[in-house]
Chains A and B, each alone.
Chain A
Amino acid sequence: MLKRTIYSLAIVALIAGCSSGTKLNDTPVTDGRGTAGQQGGASTVTPVNADQGAATAQGPIGVERIVYFDYDSYTVKPEFQSIIDGHARFLKSAPQRRISIEGHTDERGGREYNLALGQKRAEAVRRALTLLGVNDSQIEAVSFGKEKPAVQGGGEEAWAQNRRAEIRYTR
């Protein structure tokens, strides 16, 4: 699932290659771990590549999967109840299916605090689904905060499209 590639393993052998400072007039001491003429030493950082992890499965045909929220609001508006109903029916009829509800905010404010606000939106949708009888074990509510806006740029039009929770079928 989460694959990772480690480059330049050889560089690991060079960690801590920077010698300690020595007072002038003493004989300089080196710890011998540095390799001649190499880049690196105590400053070495070994890069890692992360791959995309999760796959998306098909949900109910013809049912929208995005719920939008008002500014500073974390309640599902009545106009989105039909979307909730559609997914609730589908999930109850297919108990082996799983969803991730991904909460999002607009760009204003701090990254971590927005992550917590996006979580409130995702959990509002989760509660709306469980109220209709969907098993909680079929649902994971997560947040992207302001990190993955649907629309780039500022202004109320963009912000309104970014304050949302997306329902994604993971199985």
Chain B
Amino acid sequence: MLPALAQFRVEVSGVGLTQLPIALVPFKGQDSSPQKISDIVQADLERSGQFRGVDASGQALDEASRPDLSLWRQRTADSLVVGSVTRLADGRFDVKFRLWDVVKGQDLGGQSYTVPQGDLRLASHRIADFVYEKLTGEKGIFSTRIAYVTKGGSRYSLWVADADGENAQAALASPEPIISPCWSSNGQQLAYVSFESRKPVVYVHNVASGQRRLLANFKGSNSAPAWAPDGNSLAVTLSRDGGSQLYTIPASGGEPRRLTQSASIDTEPVYSADGSTIYFVSDRGGAPQIYKMSASGGNPTRVTFSGTYNISPSVSGDGRWLAYISRIGGAFKLQVMELATGNVASITDTNADESPSFAPNSKLIVYATHLQGREALMTTTLDGKIKARLAGQAGDIREPDWGPFQKQ
């Protein structure tokens, strides 16, 4: 067994898991690199629940080596990752790696990245994405980003972090609450609700430049922004005409168009990945339940039927799954519904789950919860069998939103 990595803890439960055994040899030169590339790649792969790291000690190999694969077969590895990291004269780093199929004795290819120091983790996550896709056939999500909010004392901060919770950078600091961050589909902008003007107002914020603008600042409360997948408009909840109702607003700003006409609460809109459907929460039946309707409005149909409090819907990118929070006996529990069958599974053993959000490959969910009396962010596989606590800031941590695939 390899020593546990400090930045996260993976909990595995249940039986019948098949995990691909993979050996990650410490990259040549990473001892003097600011980031331990092979550790980051291994942690990423293990957090997916689909890989198990095997002992790679005592071997010095890089991407140019011809490894003795019989040795790695003895160590029960099915795959092997080797590589190097080199500091260039201009201060950037050259990261190279190669992936070997140990069983077939095959070179599965490799990549080279030349990056500034601040992107060494990103390069590592891209290696994990390459390995994950080669070996599972599915796109990896390790180079994606997660936005979340912390509260420390009376300060609120909106953070953008790597998908493992590391490398967090503040996008916004405020003396008033920030809630409901939502990534645009190009991964460049966040919409969120800020209370800095002593009421809830929706901003759109370019995280790289720090440029932001008011999207919805109408009389009353403005909240629950959700980007349409084409990036041209957002659905929001406004109370400007009385009550909390759903509207759409052009992303460039402008006059909202009302989507729902009810005397009840309609809020928490989210788009299906194809943009055709909006899922939302309404108490029109007397208690909050999740409904769906055409993205242009129209008659909603009810989606959740079990229990009397179902909120915070999130739809997977492949359209197969709905994650949401259900109040069950006074506890708030993350649920996953298979949309085709309506079958629901409760996948946590915590009691204060909030704000689920799917990874863009539909294989993991990030959510907020309470662990040992503190707020925490967790990722879980859809069956609940593999959970990991994200590294994060001290203080309370909440409101995660998983960003889209990044352009390479």
Contacts and interface: CB of A to CB of B under 8 A. Distances in A.
Partners in one complex: yes
B119 A147 contact: no
B9 interface: no
A12 interface: yes
Contact of A37 (B92, B224, B327): B92
B210 A147 contact: no
A143 B223 CA distance: 10
A40 B207 CA distance: 13
Interface stretch (A84-92, A114-122, A157-165): A114-122
A42 B221 contact: no
Contacts of A49: 172-174
B119 A47 contact: no
B200 A142 contact: yes
Nearest to A127: B242
A15 B208 CA distance: 7
B104 interface: no
Interface string B185-224: 0000000011111111000010111111010000111011
A116 B221 CA distance: 9
Contact of B122 (A22, A43, A45): A43
A44 interface: yes
Contacts of B122: 18, 41-43
Contacts of B390: none
A24 interface: yes
B114 A143 contact: no
Given A24-B111, A46-B210, A37 B91 contact: yes
A21 B309 contact: no
Interface in A111-164: 111-113, 115-117, 119-120, 123, 140-145, 147-148
B121 interface: yes
Contact of B110 (A24, A35, A44, A111): A24
A43 B118 contact: yes
A53 B220 contact: no
B218 to A, nearest CB: 10
B267 to A, nearest CB: 5
A144 B169 contact: no
B90 interface: yes
Interface in B239-283: 239, 242-244, 265, 267-268, 281
Given A12-B209, A18-B123, A45-B170, A140 B116 contact: no
Interface stretch (B12-20, B41-49, B50-58, B176-184): B176-184
Given A28-B114, A44-B118, A47-B173, A112 B224 contact: yes
A54 B210 contact: no
Given A144-B177, A147-B179, A109 B171 contact: no
A34 B88 CA distance: 13
A37 B115 CA distance: 9
B177 A147 contact: yes
Contacts of B179: 111-112, 115, 145, 147
Nearest to A137: B219
Contacts of B327: 109
A18 B116 contact: yes
A17 interface: yes
Interface residues of A, number: 62
Contacts of B265: 113, 116-117, 120
A6 interface: yes
Interface string B87-106: 00011101011100000000
B169 A140 contact: no
B311 A22 contact: no
A50 interface: yes
Contacts of A21: 111-113, 126, 130, 408
Contact of A143 (B63, B115, B160, B221): B221
Interface string A6-26: 110000101101111111101
B152 interface: no
Contacts of B312: 110, 112-113
B164 interface: no
Nearest to A17: B116
Given A2-B197, A18-B123, A110-B311, A28 B116 contact: no
> Which 6 A-B residue pairs are closest in the complex by CB-CB distance?
A37-B91, A46-B210, A53-B197, A45-B169, A36-B90, A50-B174
Interface of B: 63, 90-92, 94, 96-98, 109-119, 121-123, 126, 130, 160, 162, 167, 169-177, 179-180, 193-200, 205, 207-212, 214, 219-221, 223-224, 237, 239, 242-244, 265, 267-268, 281, 288, 309, 311-312, 325, 327, 332, 354-355, 398-399, 406, 408
Given A38-B116, A147-B195, 20 more contacts: A1-B197, A18-B119, A21-B113, A21-B408, A24-B109, A43-B118, A43-B162, A48-B172, A51-B196, A52-B196, A102-B199, A112-B179, A113-B265, A115-B221, A119-B239, A120-B243, A123-B239, A144-B177, A147-B177, A148-B195
